[in-house]
Each structure stands twice: as C-alpha cells, then as structure tokens.
Amino acid sequence: MNRVVKSLLVTVLGVNSASAANWKAADVDMFLKGYVKLDYVQVQGDGSASAINRSLTVPVAIVNDDAGTRSGFQVLESRFGFGTQKGNTSSYIEMDFYLSATGDENISNSFNPRLRHAYFKDCDWLFGQSWSNFMILSSLSEQLDFGGFAGQVFVRQPGIRFTKNFDKYRLDLSVENAETTYGQGEGASLSSAAADQDSTPDFIGKVSHVGDYGSVAMAIMHRTHSAEDSTESKDTGVAYTFGGELRYGVGSSFKFAYSGGNLGRYGSFTTQKDAVFTTSENTLEATETNQWHLGVRQLLTNTWRFNFDYGVGVQETFVASSVKKVSTIRANIIKQRSKNISYGFEWAQADVTRYEATKALGESDGARGSRYMFSAKYSF
C-alpha cells in the first residue's frame, strides 16, 4: 500500500489499517474496523448549558450562558466501518453515534447510529459520501474532542471524485453536494431561506505532494449560491486552502493550514455563513472568511505523545448576530498502552465573538468555554 493511500486510510478511518479484521468471501476481500471510545467530559463557562456542546465542541453553541460546570460519560464517538475490495473496485461504509435524535440518560442510554462515510471506488473514481476533496487531511491535529476545529476545513458530503497519481504528486478533481447557509447583512429584511435551493454543485480541484519531509496540498473551490424561493438573486464565490504536515524526528510533526475566500460552512466547524442578504432588495452576496491553524505532534517516548493546536477563523463579511471570530486552543497527552489501546487527557478552550444586530453596534461581548476530557480507546 503506497504512502498516500495508507495515510488517507489512517486519517479517514481513525485507526491503524493493520488493526482491521480481514476475511474473504468468494473472490471479495472484506474487513471490519473501528473503535470503542469512552469519554469523560467536563465543560465549564459559556456553552455549558448546551447539550450538543457537551458532546463535542460546537463553536456556534458557545454563547453567554454560563451554567457552571457540567460533566458526564459518553461513548458517542465509538464507530464501526465495513469495507470490501475486489481488484480495482472497493467500497466502505462507516457509522458512529453522534447527534442522535433518540436516546436519553435515564435508563438505557440508547443512541441511533449515524452515517459518516458511504462510498465505492472504481479505479480512479470515487462515488458516494466521504471527506470533502477541499479538506487537507494531513493537516488535522490529533485531538480527543471530535469537534471544534477552528481554523480548519472540516466537511463530509456526497459527490463524485477523480484521482490521478503522478509519482509523488496527486491530482483530485470533484463535484460535490452544494448547500448554502444564509445570514442577514446590513439593510436587509431577510435573514434566512429554505434549504436545498442550490442547483449547481461545488467544483473542487486539489494538488498534493508527498515526500520524506511529510506532505503539502493546495485546493481551490468554485461555489454558486441561490435563494430563489425568497429572492431571484444569486452569487458565486471562490475559496482556497493550503496546508499539510512537516515531519521532524521520529513520529513528530508540525500541522498547518491557511484558508480564505468564500469558505462559509466549510470553515471552522460550520461557524461562518456562506451568503448574506444585503440592501433593501435582499440581494444575495457570498461571504468572505479567513482562517488558519498551527499544530504540533511530539513523540515523547515509544508510548507517550503530546499534541497542541491553535486555530482562528474570522468572518470578514458582516452577518447580523452571527459569529465574527472563533479561536480554539487545545493540548492533550496520549498513552499508547498497546497497538489497540490508548488513554488520553485533553484541555481545550474556545473563544467566540459575534457581530451585533447592526454594523453600527459593532461586536458583542465575547464568550469563552473550557473543556476537560479523559478518553479510553480500543481500536479493532
């Protein structure tokens, strides 16, 4: 398995590919993999009253609602994936238990599975749902909290992707599901519109390079926004991202990314809006965002590793009562007890600043929430 494919599998599946249970049915190779993960989570300060923010960090849920300290156990990140391989054709389906609409903590703690990935590959083509081609997977820092991601691109969605390898270079071209999130700009009367009004997919191109130093990638995306149920107005936007991983020593590396343009829902864990209504005619206008993050992974011993990450996302376009700036800082230490079992502790802090209802009022008071976690994980 070449380095590019192996690195992608480890990042997408969240476990080492050597851990999978493999078997053969007729002439089809099959595997089952995933992990069971227990988290003890304690949230403090702003955002502590939000149930979803107690499951994973969601910056838009961090508001001035300091409810003191909330804590509890959860296994929602636990996941399982099933895949097949036959010649140049493969498939993969993966689920976890986050964001379940059912279940409570009274008796059974029952939660429904949630689809993450569902795709198949035919030679150089991928059809289905997976990480967006706009993501640079190697730039993501390792964290115990499966949320936050300020300053980082983070999206899964369905689409069609073509991949071509040229020695150490790789080209990915894709068309992916379009969706616009709306906000209210200066002078507009509309603040939202019905979903699924976009008829033109997002077009994404990415070039990657892998070497002994690590890997880098650059991607560009063209988007079309529409709100025809509310107004005849449309607008287009372009976004870009650059990032990767720079290795030093054994098992240690720097992670980095910078993104800008019409990021919208692609950036900082859906913190920003894709388009705003402006002027009294409610003209639709693509937003502008800038974001960046820097992380470091330091191998301390053969069994201990340390991760640190700091990220910032800023929506430059005024959007009434929406997030203007989000930043997160996090640090964790992880003990790899065996190939399959790990334990870790993590601290994280998120700061969120919002625009007021009008541009003249400026910014609202910032909100700050802290998160403490212990995790125990068994990969299979």
pLDDT: which is higher, 161 or 1: 161
Mean residue pLDDT across the chain? 91
Kindly state the average pLDDT of the residues 173-177. 98
Identify whether the C-beta of residue 238 lies closer than 8 Å to the C-beta of residue 223: yes
Between CA 128 and CA 204 the distance in angstroms is: 15
Task: Give the 3-state secondary structure of residue 162.
Answer: strand
Work out the widest C-alpha separation in the chain, in whole angstroms. Answer: 69
Q: Is 74 left (phi over 0), alpha (psi -120 to 50) or beta?
A: beta
Q: End-to-end CA distance of the chain, in Å? A: 19
Identify whether the C-beta of residue 267 lies closer than 8 Å to the C-beta of residue 234: no
The token duo for 117 is 């990935």
Q: Indicate whether 18 pLDDT > 60.
A: no
Exposed/middle/buried for 54, CB within 10 Å: 0-12, 13-18, 19+?
Answer: buried
DSSP 138: G
The token duo for 319 is 């959007």
Residue for token pair 């929602």: 76
Q: Which of 45-49, 52-56, 288-292, 323-327 has the lowest mean pLDDT?
A: 52-56
Kindly report, residue by residue over 136-158, the tens digit of the pLDDT: 999 999 999 998 889 999 999 99
Task: Give the 3-state secondary structure of residue 5.
Answer: helix
Confidence of residue 228 (pLDDT cuts 50, 70, 90): confident
Domain ranges in the chain are: 37-83+119-379
Q: Indicate whether 263 pLDDT > 90.
A: yes
Q: Indicate whether 17 pLDDT > 50.
A: no
Q: What is the pLDDT of residue 67?
A: 77
Question: 37-83+119-379, what's its fold?
Answer: Porin (2.40.160)
Q: Indicate whether 256 pLDDT > 60.
A: yes
Q: What is the pLDDT of residue 103?
A: 73
Residue for token pair 């203007």: 324
Identify whether the C-beta of residue 262 lies closer than 8 Å to the C-beta of residue 238: yes
Q: What is the pLDDT of residue 19?
A: 63
